Amino acid sequence: MYSEADLQSAVTAGAISHEAAEAFRAHAAGMRSAPVADEEHFRLITGFNDIFVTIAAVLLLMAAAGIGHAIAPGIAGVLVAGAAWMLAEFFTRKRRMALPSIVLLLAFVGGVAAVPINYLAETNANLSETTGTMVGAGIGLLAAGAAWLHWRRFMVPITVAAGAAGLVVTAIALVVTAWHSATGNRDPEPILLPLTFLFGLAVFAVAMRWDMSDPKRETRRSDVAFWLHLLAAPMIAHPLFAWLGVSDGENIGAAAALGVLAIYVLMGAVALAVDRRALLVSALAYVLLALTWLFREFGMVELNVALTGLVIGSALLALSAFWTPIRSALVQRLPDTLQSMLPQGLLAHA
């Protein structure tokens, strides 16, 4: 079985022509009765060898961390990052193995970020709250820099999302420090949720720029956008539902429960328009909680969990089965300018 990435690689290498690749995509989409751009293709595994290599790599990285920890504070991160980079030279750059590449990227960025964290923890450094926040900002910036270096060398799609996460941590830490200095308030709670939400929207906008640069989803840019959407989704969803009070667990009311459902429907419309399912997945836990509460309030105590699973499971399966016609009906009602920025596979068949 050949993936979209394999097909694009064959075109780049000159093994097949661009026209032949387009004809193959159209044929495959026709057999599935769905446009190719409506499928969120991204490589995770191509065979059991990916899992085998990943397990072996994780064992080696754990060994490197253990050896480094025994040598001196901070050395564990250095050894993990170095080992991850060297392994990536073969399994990512030469073999192009998807799952090992993702794990090695995360290990490299995590290893670089772990160096100062481990050193400070092992040396019992006593930092003031402001200094600690600034150190956190520096670590986030260090992680973003490591992701940038990795991207320049290996261009693993998830790398951009990892770098964006590092920049978000840095920005939030800097704003919190400025908040402390300006107000004298040491409690960051009042600004953490708004900051997370705003930066979530910013990451979503960056993801859309990557998506709009590849509306047919034929290149690595689409994979980059996928991981950015996956990062942005919980950053957007969590603050919205926290403001409704759903994060308090059992202490939600009818208004909050109905608000959760309304927001989820709105997120569903956005997910359909941009043809990305990350928003629906990230908000799912809150919807399950709200529906469970509603069923319990209507007296269905014994069956509330089962009914919740039945309703949400059936709805999501139906949405998945009829994703293309539902999305077609929604997109056709949007302005032409906005339609031109969205994935084109469906629009070409509408």
pLDDT in tens, 115-163: 999 888 887 767 777 787 888 899 999 999 999 999 999 999 999 999 9
**Band of the pLDDT at 218, cuts 50, 70, 90?**
confident
pLDDT digits (tens, 9 = 90+) for 266-300: 998 999 889 888 888 888 888 887 777 777 766 66
**Residue 113: which pLDDT band, with cuts at 50, 70 and 90?**
very high
For residue 27, what are the contacts with CB-CB under 8 A and spacing of at least 6?
A: none
Whether the predicted pLDDT of 34 surpasses 50: no
330-344 per-residue burial string, b: 16 or more CB within 10 A, e: under 16: ebeeeeeeebeebbb
In the chain, the amino acid numbered 100 is P
Residue 81 has pLDDT above 60, yes or no: yes
pTM of the predicted structure, to 2 decimals: 0.81
pLDDT > 70 fraction of the chain, expressed in percent and rounded: 84
Q: Where are the domains of the chain?
A: 1-33, 244-350
Query: Measured in Å, how far apart are the chain's first and last C-alpha atoms?
Result: 28
Q: How far is residue 259's CA from residue 239's CA, in Å, rounded to a whole number? A: 13
Q: Which of 29-33, 71-75, 189-193, 266-270 has the lowest mean pLDDT?
A: 29-33
- pLDDT bucket at 164, cuts 50 / 70 / 90: very high
Query: Is 225 in contact with 216 (CB distance < 8 Å)?
Result: no
C-beta of residue 342 within 8 angstroms of C-beta of residue 274: yes
pLDDT at 349: 44
- Mean pLDDT, the chain, rounded, equals 83
In this prediction, residue 42 carries a pLDDT of: 60
The pLDDT of residue 350 is above 50: no
> Helices (H), strands (E): how many in the chain?
16, 0
More confident residue, 64 or 281: 64
